[in-house]
Amino acid sequence: MENYDLIIRNGFVVKEEEVEKADIAILNGKIAELSAKLPEDITANQIIDATGLHIFPGLIDSHVHFNEPGRTEWEGFETGSKSLAAGGVTLFFDMPLNSHPPTITKSAFELKNKIAKEKSLVDYRLWGGVVPGNTDELEDLMQSGVIGFKAFMSGSGIEDFEASDDQTLFTAMEKIAELGGILAVHAESDIITSHLGKINGDAEDHSAASYSASRPIYSEVEAVQRILAYAEATKCKVHIVHISSTKVLEPILAAKKRGIDVSVETCPHYLSLTVEDIETLGAVAKCAPPLRNQEEIEALWTAIKNGLIDTVGSDHSPSPAHMKEGYLLEAWGGISGCQSTLNILLEEGYWKRQVSLPQLMNVVSKNPAKRFGLEEYKGSITLNKDADLVIVDLDEEFILKKEDLFYRNKLSPYIGKKFKGKIKQTLKSGISVYKD
């Protein structure tokens, strides 16, 4: 009889379509057995009794900014991956900007990959970047192993990662389609946001409502419609990141019906915070696109219930504390939140809106694994897949404290909030990387 590395007994396993009580046996980092009840005489080097607890597949956060090398004082792979592990994330995709140099060449990829390999506590992939003038670099980046490419249709806030003009986007998309890759897009109209931002800046209106109005929903819609037209022409796969409204979702769903290969992401902050929270919390809740109103939150949750949103990524975009001070319009536009994704989904989705656990896991595990070609070994609790697991006490309540965070800069709009659903342990390939 096989001696396993680990057996987890008596847990409620969250599968793709249902939750059922089961035992899990792990060998060499893989799920070797999954049974309603494993025989008592089976041996293992370690046994975890998960009675009363739920076991989720490890989350896949396809959208983080860890900023290393070059801006490690903002965040780094060590502190960032610890935060992810504490939040139940076992695989992340790091964005190409904010690090210096940005990941827009093969040499920059190799530099970042070396650091990530040394420091990351969990599995990772790296995005490559699309900027004006680097189309000839895309093939080398693809061969180096990028998970996909990222482009901005409006200013990124980072000088060495320029927004892509229309010609850059179209040419890059032709090349990415040829390579069989995927393009992730920050879709806001540069013309609209620049114009409205100048008006608001001249008026010296630093209110949250003014900031939100300077980056309106129709700016997202315009950019999405444009990139979808380019996708239809070039046959390039696209992934629209961080939509803030179901109004942005409408053209994406219409494009899917026409056969365009497009997927869409929203973020925990668009599912839990409103523009009023910026007034209360200040710049710690500032992001781009901005937070919207409660009606938009409810519509996004309905879309998740109906299976219309493909993925939820944290868009963890940290900065030093001093960059979140001063006037709202001048503060850094990014939210630190990657440690809280699962807690927000459970609190706001499962408990408040009765979204099922499988529905939640689909948007943070199954769907990203499938969309980015990793479903053979990631994304669900299935035989022979990686034993990436999160053990959760759904009934345990806690208040998030600053000292609970593993971020380099302990900023979060969720500090002081009460959550129901406590992460007790995270396992990557059957090895514990976090224990409460």
Q: Residue 351, SS3?
A: helix
Q: Looking at the structure, tell me whether residues 77 and 129 fall in a common domain.
A: yes
Q: Check residue 330 and give its pLDDT.
A: 86
CATH number of the domain that residue 408 is part of: 2.30.40.10
What CA dihedral angle connects 349, 415, 59 and 271, to 10 degrees? 40
Determine the Cα angle at 371 with ends 251 and 391, to 5°. Answer: 115
Q: Which of 371, 394, 415 is the last residue of a domain?
A: 371
Q: Looking at the structure, tell me whether residues 187 and 43 fall in a common domain.
A: no
Instruction: Name which of 57, 64, 58 is nearest 242 in CA terms.
Output: 64
199 contacts 210 by C-beta, under 8 angstroms: no
Q: Looking at the structure, tell me whether residues 48 and 82 fall in a common domain.
A: no
Per DSSP, the chain holds a count of helices (H) and strands (E) of 14, 17
Residue 419 lies in a domain: yes
Q: Which of 371, 404, 420 is the last residue of a domain?
A: 371
Which residues, 6+ apart, have CB-to-CB distance to 265 below 8 Å? 62, 63, 239, 240, 241, 242, 243, 309, 310, 311, 312, 313
Q: Looking at the structure, tell me whether residues 81 and 34 fall in a common domain.
A: no
Residue 60 lies in a domain: no
Q: Looking at the structure, tell me whether residues 124 and 168 fall in a common domain.
A: yes
Count the alpha carbons within 13 Å of 161 in the hemisphere toward its beta carbon. Answer: 27
Q: Looking at the structure, tell me whether residues 140 and 218 fall in a common domain.
A: yes
Residue 380 lies in a domain: no
361: amino acid identity, one letter: M
Q: Which of 371, 395, 421 is the last residue of a domain?
A: 371
Mean pLDDT by 10 residues, the chain (436 residues): 91 96 98 95 95 98 97 97 98 97 98 98 98 97 98 93 97 98 98 87 77 94 98 98 98 98 98 96 96 98 98 97 89 96 98 98 98 98 98 98 97 98 98 97
Q: Looking at the structure, tell me whether residues 205 and 253 fall in a common domain.
A: yes
Structurally, the chain folds into a number of domains equal to 2
Q: Looking at the structure, tell me whether residues 361 and 419 fall in a common domain.
A: no
Burial (Cβ within 10 Å: 0-12, 13-18, ≥19) of residue 154: buried
14: amino acid identity, one letter: V
Instruction: Name which of 59, 63, 60 is nearest 314 in CA terms.
Output: 63
Residue 79 lies in a domain: yes
Give CA–CA dist 181/146, Å, rounded.
Answer: 9
Q: Check residue 1 and give its pLDDT.
A: 61
Q: Looking at the structure, tell me whether residues 11 and 80 fall in a common domain.
A: no
48: containing domain: 3-55+386-435
| Residue environment code for 359-372, b if the CB has 16+ CB neighbours within 10 A, otherwise e | bbbbbbbbbbbbbb
Which residues, 6+ apart, have CB-to-CB distance to 204 below 8 Å? none
Residue 377 lies in a domain: no
Q: Looking at the structure, tell me whether residues 11 and 105 fall in a common domain.
A: no
47: left (phi over 0), alpha (psi -120 to 50) or beta: beta
Q: Looking at the structure, tell me whether residues 273 and 395 fall in a common domain.
A: no
- The label of the residue with tokens 């659903």 reads 421
CATH number of the domain that residue 116 is part of: 3.20.20.140
Strands 3-14 and 54-57, by their bridges, are parallel
Which residues, 6+ apart, have CB-to-CB distance to 135 below 8 Å? 168, 171, 172, 175
Residue 381 lies in a domain: no
Q: Check residue 198 and give its pLDDT.
A: 83
Answer whether 0.75 is exceeded by the pTM. yes
Reported as a single tens digit per residue, the pLDDT across 80-90 is: 999 999 999 99
Q: Looking at the structure, tell me whether residues 308 and 399 fall in a common domain.
A: no
Helix extents (H) in 204-268: 208-214, 217-234, 246-257
375 alpha-carbon distance from chain centroid: 17
Residue 30 lies in a domain: yes
Instruction: Name which of 300, 280, 160, 283 is nearest 220 in CA terms.
Output: 300
* Residue 177 vs residues 45, 139, 171, 375, 411: alpha-carbon distances, Å: 47, 11, 10, 21, 39
Residue 36 lies in a domain: yes
